[in-house]
């Protein structure tokens, strides 16, 4: 979260520009690491579904495990992003996130058309990413001012999601999912633009930001599809 608030690096603050070759290198490394990070996510999700290891993580217990693990990993990534340990820590985080996602995937796979819903959510997330990546390359305007508003929106969304864990409202979950898709799609555009404009020069931090965007969009799409499109036997 701190990376999102500090959106403009020191060089840009003094009116300097980051070398174009360096920007392209950061973007290329980010894309490669982002693609690699999906493998532990899939492995974690598969393990969770196959073993049911996360089945008991519901309500307050699930929330504590998720928030504790996620923020613990993000703190470790921030501390190791400039060292050789940065990439393994990031991949460990993506495995953990896949494991946490497995409860939702298992629930959706319980529908008659569960596999189709999972693939639709994956395709929809990929589509959102392609649109935002295309927009990031053609928009010339500086979007760094979006950061504080998106951060506030994400905080409000998190509070709503925590409350809904205890309330258990299906309508609330649907509303939160719709809002999350909008906020994290915009975050995706913002984070990509930061890399392209030279506002983010660390590819591990950039990968973490984009991974969280993709994860939240996918999770929210899958939840919506499960709520409105799930077919029971």
pLDDT tens digits, 31-50? 999 999 999 999 999 999 99
Gap between the Cα atoms of 205 and 1, Å rounded: 10
Comparing CA positions, the residue from 158, 170, 159, 61 lying closest to residue 107 is 170
Q: Is the pLDDT of residue 1 over 60?
A: no
Asked if residue 124 lies in contact with residue 221, where contact means CB atoms within 8 angstroms, the answer is yes
| Coil vs helix vs strand at 99 | helix
At residue 75, the pLDDT reads: 94
Angle, CA 170 vertex, CA 230 and CA 216 arms, to 5°: 80
User: What share of the chain has pLDDT > 90, as a percent?
Assistant: 64
Q: Which of 61-65, 66-70, 93-97 has the lowest mean pLDDT?
A: 61-65
At residue 136, the pLDDT reads: 92
Gap between the Cα atoms of 213 and 145, Å rounded: 18
Taking residues 49-63, what's their average pLDDT? 79
Q: What is the pLDDT of residues 93-149, one digit of tens each?
A: 999 999 999 999 999 999 999 899 999 999 999 999 999 999 999 998 888 888 889
The domain segmentation of the chain, as residue ranges, is: 18-229
| pTM (whole model) above 0.85 | yes
Supply the angle between the helices 170-197 and 146-167 in degrees, to the nearest 10.
160
* Tokens 């360096």 belong to residue: 22
Q: Which of 51-55, 74-78, 209-213, 218-222 has the lowest mean pLDDT?
A: 51-55
What is the residue-averaged pLDDT of the chain?
A: 87
């Amino acid at each position: 979260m701190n990376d999102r608030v500090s959106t403009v690096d020191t060089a840009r603050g003094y009116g300097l520009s980051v070398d174009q070759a360096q920007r392209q290198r950061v973007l290329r490394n980010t894309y490669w690491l982002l693609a690699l990070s999906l493998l532990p996510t899939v492995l974690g999700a598969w393990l969770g579904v196959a073993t049911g290891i996360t089945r008991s993580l519901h309500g307050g217990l699930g929330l504590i495990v998720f928030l504790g693990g996620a923020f613990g990993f993000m703190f470790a990534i921030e501390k190791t992003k400039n060292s050789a340990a940065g990439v393994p820590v990031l991949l460990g985080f993506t495995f953990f996130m896949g494991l946490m996602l497995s409860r939702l995937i298992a629930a959706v796979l319980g529908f008659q058309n569960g596999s189709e819903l999972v693939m639709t959510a994956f395709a929809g997330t990929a589509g959102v990413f392609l649109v935002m990546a295309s927009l990031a390359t053609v928009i010339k305007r500086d979007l760094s001012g979006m950061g504080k508003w998106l951060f506030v929106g994400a905080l409000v969304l998190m509070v709503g999601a925590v409350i809904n864990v205890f309330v258990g409202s299906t309508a609330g979950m649907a509303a939160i999912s719709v809002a999350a898709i909008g906020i994290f799609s915009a975050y995706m555009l913002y984070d990509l633009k930061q890399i392209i404009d030279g506002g983010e020069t660390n590819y591990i931090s950039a990968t973490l930001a984009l991974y969280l965007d993709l994860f939240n969009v996918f999770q929210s799409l899958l939840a919506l599809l499960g709520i409105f499109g799930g077919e029971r036997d």
